[in-house]
Amino acid sequence: MITDGCQWRKYGQKMAKGNPCPRAYYRCTMAAGCPVRKQVQRCAEDRTILITTYEGNHNHPLPPAAMAMASTTSSAARMLLSGSMPSADGLMDSNFLTRTILPCSSSVATISASAPFPTVTLDLTQSPNPLQLQRPPGQFNIPFPNPSQNFTNGPVSLLPQIFGQALYNQSKFSGLQMSQDMERVQLGHQQQPGHQGQQQNSLADTVTAATAAIAADPNFTAALAAAITSIIGNAHPNNNSNNGTNPATNSNNNNGNATSNSNKLSNPSFSAN
DNA sequence: CGCTTTTGACCTGCGC
DNA sequence: GCGCAGGTCAAAAGCG
Protein backbone atom coordinates (compact mmCIF):
# COMPACT_ATOMS: atom_id res chain seq x y z
CA MET A 1 0.00 0.00 0.00
CA ILE A 2 1.22 3.44 -0.85
CA THR A 3 2.04 5.61 2.09
CA ASP A 4 0.45 9.01 2.18
CA GLY A 5 2.01 10.46 5.25
CA CYS A 6 -0.62 9.31 7.68
CA GLN A 7 -0.94 6.23 9.82
CA TRP A 8 -3.84 3.98 9.00
CA ARG A 9 -5.38 1.06 10.77
CA LYS A 10 -7.36 -1.50 8.89
CA TYR A 11 -10.74 -2.11 10.44
CA GLY A 12 -12.56 -4.10 7.84
CA GLN A 13 -12.51 -5.83 4.54
CA LYS A 14 -15.33 -6.76 2.28
CA MET A 15 -15.83 -8.29 -1.07
CA ALA A 16 -17.39 -5.76 -3.37
CA LYS A 17 -19.93 -6.87 -5.89
CA GLY A 18 -18.54 -7.00 -9.38
CA ASN A 19 -14.97 -6.96 -8.18
CA PRO A 20 -13.08 -10.14 -7.32
CA CYS A 21 -10.72 -8.14 -5.19
CA PRO A 22 -11.72 -7.29 -1.64
CA ARG A 23 -12.13 -3.73 -0.51
CA ALA A 24 -10.21 -2.76 2.59
CA TYR A 25 -11.28 -0.11 5.06
CA TYR A 26 -8.78 1.97 6.97
CA ARG A 27 -9.02 4.55 9.71
CA CYS A 28 -6.54 7.29 10.44
CA THR A 29 -4.74 6.50 13.67
CA MET A 30 -2.58 9.56 13.91
CA ALA A 31 -4.94 11.07 16.43
CA ALA A 32 -7.61 9.67 18.63
CA GLY A 33 -10.99 10.21 17.14
CA CYS A 34 -9.73 11.28 13.78
CA PRO A 35 -12.72 10.72 11.52
CA VAL A 36 -10.76 10.22 8.34
CA ARG A 37 -11.25 6.89 6.65
CA LYS A 38 -10.14 5.46 3.43
CA GLN A 39 -11.04 2.56 1.24
CA VAL A 40 -8.54 0.68 -0.85
CA GLN A 41 -9.53 -1.63 -3.61
CA ARG A 42 -7.84 -3.04 -6.65
CA CYS A 43 -9.38 -2.37 -9.98
CA ALA A 44 -11.28 -5.38 -11.23
CA GLU A 45 -10.14 -4.84 -14.77
CA ASP A 46 -6.54 -4.15 -14.03
CA ARG A 47 -5.40 -5.39 -10.68
CA THR A 48 -2.25 -3.39 -10.86
CA ILE A 49 -4.43 -0.40 -10.14
CA LEU A 50 -5.25 0.52 -6.60
CA ILE A 51 -8.33 2.61 -6.06
CA THR A 52 -8.14 4.58 -2.86
CA THR A 53 -11.00 6.65 -1.57
CA TYR A 54 -10.66 9.09 1.30
CA GLU A 55 -13.49 10.28 3.46
CA GLY A 56 -13.66 12.88 6.16
CA ASN A 57 -11.30 15.46 7.50
CA HIS A 58 -8.36 15.12 9.82
CA ASN A 59 -8.79 16.59 13.26
CA HIS A 60 -5.09 16.83 13.85
CA PRO A 61 -2.09 18.45 12.21
CA LEU A 62 -0.71 16.61 9.28
CA PRO A 63 2.75 15.10 9.40
CA PRO A 64 5.48 17.22 7.84
CA ALA A 65 5.50 15.23 4.65
CA ALA A 66 1.79 15.57 4.28
CA MET A 67 1.83 19.20 5.26
CA ALA A 68 4.44 19.93 2.67
CA MET A 69 2.13 18.64 0.06
CA ALA A 70 -0.91 20.17 1.58
CA SER A 71 0.66 23.58 1.71
CA THR A 72 0.74 23.84 -2.01
CA THR A 73 -2.28 21.93 -3.02
CA SER A 74 -5.96 21.86 -2.44
CA SER A 75 -7.11 18.34 -3.01
CA ALA A 76 -6.25 14.79 -2.38
CA ALA A 77 -4.55 14.56 -5.68
CA ARG A 78 -2.05 17.13 -4.69
CA MET A 79 -0.56 14.92 -2.11
CA LEU A 80 1.00 13.30 -5.07
CA LEU A 81 2.87 16.42 -5.81
CA SER A 82 5.23 15.65 -2.99
CA GLY A 83 7.41 14.07 -5.57
CA SER A 84 8.06 17.46 -7.00
CA MET A 85 8.98 19.12 -3.79
CA PRO A 86 12.45 19.60 -2.39
CA SER A 87 11.36 18.09 0.88
CA ALA A 88 10.64 14.88 -0.91
CA ASP A 89 13.37 13.30 -2.93
CA GLY A 90 14.55 16.44 -4.57
CA LEU A 91 14.39 14.89 -7.97
CA MET A 92 12.28 17.50 -9.59
CA ASP A 93 14.53 17.63 -12.59
CA SER A 94 14.15 13.96 -13.20
CA ASN A 95 10.45 14.04 -12.68
CA PHE A 96 7.96 14.79 -15.29
CA LEU A 97 5.63 16.64 -13.08
CA THR A 98 2.56 17.47 -14.96
CA ARG A 99 -0.61 19.21 -14.25
CA THR A 100 -3.57 19.36 -16.50
CA ILE A 101 -6.34 21.69 -15.62
CA LEU A 102 -9.70 20.61 -16.83
CA PRO A 103 -12.78 22.76 -17.09
CA CYS A 104 -14.44 21.22 -14.12
CA SER A 105 -14.41 23.35 -11.06
CA SER A 106 -15.59 20.63 -8.78
CA SER A 107 -13.21 17.89 -9.72
CA VAL A 108 -9.61 17.25 -9.02
CA ALA A 109 -7.54 14.45 -10.41
CA THR A 110 -3.92 13.60 -10.28
CA ILE A 111 -2.14 11.07 -12.38
CA SER A 112 1.26 9.89 -11.45
CA ALA A 113 2.96 7.89 -14.14
CA SER A 114 5.93 7.27 -11.98
CA ALA A 115 7.89 4.11 -12.40
CA PRO A 116 7.52 1.59 -10.99
CA PHE A 117 4.42 2.86 -9.22
CA PRO A 118 2.28 4.98 -11.44
CA THR A 119 -0.54 6.50 -9.48
CA VAL A 120 -3.73 8.19 -10.39
CA THR A 121 -5.76 10.22 -7.98
CA LEU A 122 -9.17 11.52 -8.82
CA ASP A 123 -11.10 13.87 -6.68
CA LEU A 124 -14.53 13.75 -8.17
CA THR A 125 -16.30 15.15 -5.22
CA GLN A 126 -14.51 18.30 -4.37
CA SER A 127 -17.19 20.71 -3.46
CA PRO A 128 -17.20 23.98 -5.36
CA ASN A 129 -18.56 25.64 -2.27
CA PRO A 130 -16.95 29.08 -2.27
CA LEU A 131 -16.76 29.07 1.49
CA GLN A 132 -14.51 26.11 1.23
CA LEU A 133 -12.33 27.80 -1.27
CA GLN A 134 -11.86 30.74 1.00
CA ARG A 135 -10.52 28.62 3.73
CA PRO A 136 -6.89 29.18 4.48
CA PRO A 137 -4.52 26.27 4.45
CA GLY A 138 -3.18 24.53 7.47
CA GLN A 139 -6.22 24.88 9.66
CA PHE A 140 -8.19 22.12 11.25
CA ASN A 141 -11.11 21.67 13.54
CA ILE A 142 -12.82 24.74 12.31
CA PRO A 143 -16.57 24.32 12.49
CA PHE A 144 -18.21 24.52 9.16
CA PRO A 145 -21.80 25.57 9.55
CA ASN A 146 -23.00 24.65 6.12
CA PRO A 147 -25.20 21.60 6.62
CA SER A 148 -25.06 20.81 2.96
CA GLN A 149 -21.47 19.79 3.20
CA ASN A 150 -20.86 16.38 1.79
CA PHE A 151 -18.41 15.36 4.40
CA THR A 152 -19.33 13.41 7.39
CA ASN A 153 -18.05 15.70 10.03
CA GLY A 154 -18.72 19.28 10.85
CA PRO A 155 -15.15 20.49 10.79
CA VAL A 156 -14.34 20.96 7.19
CA SER A 157 -11.16 22.06 5.64
CA LEU A 158 -9.73 21.60 2.26
CA LEU A 159 -6.50 20.30 3.53
CA PRO A 160 -7.73 17.29 5.41
CA GLN A 161 -9.37 16.17 2.25
CA ILE A 162 -6.22 16.14 0.36
CA PHE A 163 -4.81 12.78 1.18
CA GLY A 164 -4.31 11.14 -2.10
CA GLN A 165 -1.20 9.17 -2.57
CA ALA A 166 2.17 10.35 -1.45
CA LEU A 167 4.87 8.70 -3.39
CA TYR A 168 7.88 8.96 -1.23
CA ASN A 169 11.29 7.86 -2.39
CA GLN A 170 10.27 7.62 -5.93
CA SER A 171 12.36 8.98 -8.67
CA LYS A 172 9.75 9.71 -11.23
CA PHE A 173 6.53 11.45 -10.82
CA SER A 174 3.87 13.14 -12.74
CA GLY A 175 0.52 14.56 -11.88
CA LEU A 176 -2.60 15.26 -13.76
CA GLN A 177 -4.69 17.70 -11.93
CA MET A 178 -8.11 18.98 -12.64
CA SER A 179 -10.17 21.82 -11.29
CA GLN A 180 -8.77 24.92 -12.81
CA ASP A 181 -11.09 27.17 -10.96
CA MET A 182 -10.15 25.76 -7.65
CA GLU A 183 -6.51 26.02 -8.48
CA ARG A 184 -6.88 29.61 -9.42
CA VAL A 185 -8.76 30.43 -6.30
CA GLN A 186 -6.21 28.75 -4.15
CA LEU A 187 -3.30 30.30 -5.89
CA GLY A 188 -4.86 33.68 -5.93
CA HIS A 189 -5.76 33.65 -2.29
CA GLN A 190 -2.84 31.88 -0.84
CA GLN A 191 0.17 32.67 -2.88
CA GLN A 192 2.03 35.76 -3.70
CA PRO A 193 1.38 37.27 -7.10
CA GLY A 194 4.81 36.45 -8.35
CA HIS A 195 4.55 32.93 -7.21
CA GLN A 196 1.16 32.68 -8.72
CA GLY A 197 2.35 33.63 -12.13
CA GLN A 198 5.21 31.23 -11.89
CA GLN A 199 2.89 28.50 -10.82
CA GLN A 200 0.55 29.09 -13.67
CA ASN A 201 3.37 29.06 -16.11
CA SER A 202 4.40 25.81 -14.62
CA LEU A 203 0.92 24.52 -15.04
CA ALA A 204 0.84 25.51 -18.64
CA ASP A 205 4.20 23.96 -19.29
CA THR A 206 3.32 20.74 -17.67
CA VAL A 207 0.04 20.23 -19.43
CA THR A 208 1.87 19.26 -22.56
CA ALA A 209 4.25 17.09 -20.63
CA ALA A 210 1.38 15.32 -18.94
CA THR A 211 -0.33 14.60 -22.19
CA ALA A 212 2.83 13.34 -23.75
CA ALA A 213 3.76 11.22 -20.78
CA ILE A 214 0.42 9.54 -20.62
CA ALA A 215 0.09 9.10 -24.34
CA ALA A 216 3.53 7.58 -24.50
CA ASP A 217 2.58 4.89 -22.08
CA PRO A 218 -0.26 2.83 -23.52
CA ASN A 219 -0.24 0.51 -20.58
CA PHE A 220 -0.78 3.33 -18.20
CA THR A 221 -3.41 4.82 -20.42
CA ALA A 222 -5.26 1.55 -20.44
CA ALA A 223 -4.88 1.18 -16.73
CA LEU A 224 -6.21 4.64 -16.15
CA ALA A 225 -9.13 4.04 -18.44
CA ALA A 226 -9.91 0.83 -16.63
CA ALA A 227 -9.73 2.49 -13.26
CA ILE A 228 -11.95 5.36 -14.22
CA THR A 229 -14.36 3.11 -16.00
CA SER A 230 -14.61 0.87 -12.99
CA ILE A 231 -15.71 3.78 -10.89
CA ILE A 232 -17.58 6.00 -13.24
CA GLY A 233 -18.97 3.33 -15.49
CA ASN A 234 -20.20 1.13 -12.72
CA ALA A 235 -22.03 3.94 -11.09
CA HIS A 236 -23.63 5.25 -14.24
CA PRO A 237 -23.05 2.78 -17.01
CA ASN A 238 -25.22 4.72 -19.41
CA ASN A 239 -23.95 8.13 -18.64
CA ASN A 240 -21.63 8.85 -21.51
CA SER A 241 -22.86 12.26 -22.39
CA ASN A 242 -19.42 13.72 -22.04
CA ASN A 243 -17.88 11.53 -24.70
CA GLY A 244 -15.80 9.85 -22.10
CA THR A 245 -12.89 12.12 -22.65
CA ASN A 246 -13.14 13.63 -19.27
CA PRO A 247 -14.78 11.35 -16.77
CA ALA A 248 -14.40 13.93 -14.09
CA THR A 249 -16.76 16.24 -15.86
CA ASN A 250 -19.47 13.84 -14.92
CA SER A 251 -18.95 14.95 -11.41
CA ASN A 252 -19.82 18.52 -12.08
CA ASN A 253 -22.33 20.14 -9.78
CA ASN A 254 -20.98 17.85 -7.15
CA ASN A 255 -22.99 15.02 -8.56
CA GLY A 256 -19.99 13.04 -9.58
CA ASN A 257 -20.42 9.38 -10.03
CA ALA A 258 -17.92 8.73 -7.34
CA THR A 259 -20.04 10.73 -5.00
CA SER A 260 -23.25 9.06 -5.86
CA ASN A 261 -22.52 6.62 -3.12
CA SER A 262 -24.07 8.51 -0.26
CA ASN A 263 -22.43 11.61 -1.64
CA LYS A 264 -20.01 11.63 1.19
CA LEU A 265 -16.85 10.14 -0.12
CA SER A 266 -14.04 12.39 -0.98
CA ASN A 267 -10.95 12.05 -3.05
CA PRO A 268 -11.08 8.71 -4.70
CA SER A 269 -7.73 7.91 -6.13
CA PHE A 270 -6.28 5.29 -8.36
CA SER A 271 -2.90 3.81 -7.85
CA ALA A 272 -1.16 1.44 -10.14
CA ASN A 273 1.83 -0.48 -8.92
C1' DC B 1 2.53 -6.23 25.98
C1' DG B 2 0.69 -3.22 22.74
C1' DC B 3 -0.59 -2.57 18.23
C1' DT B 4 -2.28 -4.26 13.84
C1' DT B 5 -4.63 -7.46 10.93
C1' DT B 6 -8.10 -10.83 10.04
C1' DT B 7 -12.72 -12.19 9.65
C1' DG B 8 -17.41 -13.36 10.77
C1' DA B 9 -21.33 -11.01 12.59
C1' DC B 10 -24.07 -7.12 12.81
C1' DC B 11 -26.16 -2.76 11.23
C1' DT B 12 -28.08 0.24 7.79
C1' DG B 13 -29.80 1.93 3.47
C1' DC B 14 -32.00 0.89 -0.73
C1' DG B 15 -34.65 -1.37 -4.31
C1' DC B 16 -38.23 -4.56 -5.33
C1' DG C 1 -41.35 -6.88 4.48
C1' DC C 2 -37.52 -9.09 2.42
C1' DG C 3 -33.15 -9.62 0.33
C1' DC C 4 -28.94 -7.60 -1.06
C1' DA C 5 -24.87 -4.88 -0.76
C1' DG C 6 -21.92 -1.78 1.59
C1' DG C 7 -19.94 -0.38 5.82
C1' DT C 8 -18.65 -1.13 10.71
C1' DC C 9 -17.77 -3.67 14.96
C1' DA C 10 -15.21 -6.55 17.84
C1' DA C 11 -13.04 -10.81 19.27
C1' DA C 12 -9.25 -13.63 18.03
C1' DA C 13 -4.86 -14.17 16.06
C1' DG C 14 -0.46 -12.45 14.52
C1' DC C 15 3.65 -9.74 14.99
C1' DG C 16 7.56 -7.08 16.74
Query: What CATH code is carried by the domain that includes residue A68?
Result: 2.20.25.80
Domain annotation covers residue A162: no
**Torsion, Cα of A169, A46, A50, A239 (10° steps):** 130
Extended beta strands in A56-199, E state? 108-112, 119-123
Kindly write down the DSSP assignment for every residue of A63-91, as one continuous string: PHHHHHHHTT-SSGGGGGGGGGSTTTT--
Let me know if residue A61 belongs to a domain: yes
Residues 4-33 of A, Cβ under 7 A from nucleic strand C: 11-18, 23, 25
pLDDT tens digits, residue range A5-41? 778 888 888 888 877 788 889 888 887 778 888 888 8
Quick: pLDDT tens for A210-260. Answer: 444 444 444 554 555 555 544 444 444 333 333 333 333 333 333 333 333
Q: Is residue A18 part of a domain?
A: yes
Residues 6-25 of A with CB under 7 A from strand B: 7-14, 24
Task: Supply the pLDDT for residue A67.
Answer: 63
Q: Who's near A116: CB < 8 A, 6+ residues apart?
A: A273
* Residue A108 is assigned to a structural domain of this protein: yes
Q: C-alpha distances in angstroms, A41 versus A6, A52, A71, A114?
A: 18, 6, 28, 20
Q: Is the pLDDT of residue A159 over 50?
A: no
Residue range A74-98: average pLDDT? 33
Task: Give the model's pLDDT for residue A124.
Answer: 37
The per-residue pLDDT for A225 is 52
More confident residue, A62 or A230: A62
List CB contacts of A256: < 8 A, sequence separation 6 or more.
Answer: A106, A107, A124, A125, A248, A250
CA of A67: how far to CAs of A6, A59, A201, in Å?
Answer: 10, 14, 24
Segment A187-208 mean pLDDT: 40
Supply the pTM of this predicted model.
0.50
pLDDT given at position A31: 78
Distance between the alpha carbon (CA) of A65 and the C1' atom of B13, Å: 38
Q: Return the amino acid letter for A248.
A: A
A51 falls within a domain: yes
Q: Output the pLDDT for position A3.
A: 61
Mean pLDDT over each residue of chain A, to the nearest integer = 48
Q: Residue A66 has what pLDDT?
A: 63
Find, among A70, A84, A219, the residue nearest to A135 by Cα.
A70
Give how many domains chain A has, as a whole number.
1
Mean pLDDT of A60-87: 48
Report which of A201, A184, A207, A181 is spatially closest to residue A98, judged by C-alpha positions: A207
Residue A268 lies in a domain: no
What is the CA A90 to C1' B10 distance in angstroms? 48
Q: Domain limits at A19?
A: 8-84+94-123
Could you tell me which residues are beta bridge partners of residue A10?
A26
> Which helix (H) or strand (E) segment is A135 a member of?
none
Residue A42 lies in a domain: yes
pLDDT of the residue at A219: 52
From the Cβ of A29, is strand B under 7 Å away? yes
The answer to whether position A233 is within a domain reads no
CA A153, A178, A199, A216 torsion: positive or negative? positive
Q: How many other C-beta atoms can be found within 10 angstroms of the C-beta atom of residue A196? A: 16
Q: Given its phi and psi angles, is residue A244 left (phi above 0), alpha (psi -120 to 50 degrees) or beta?
A: left
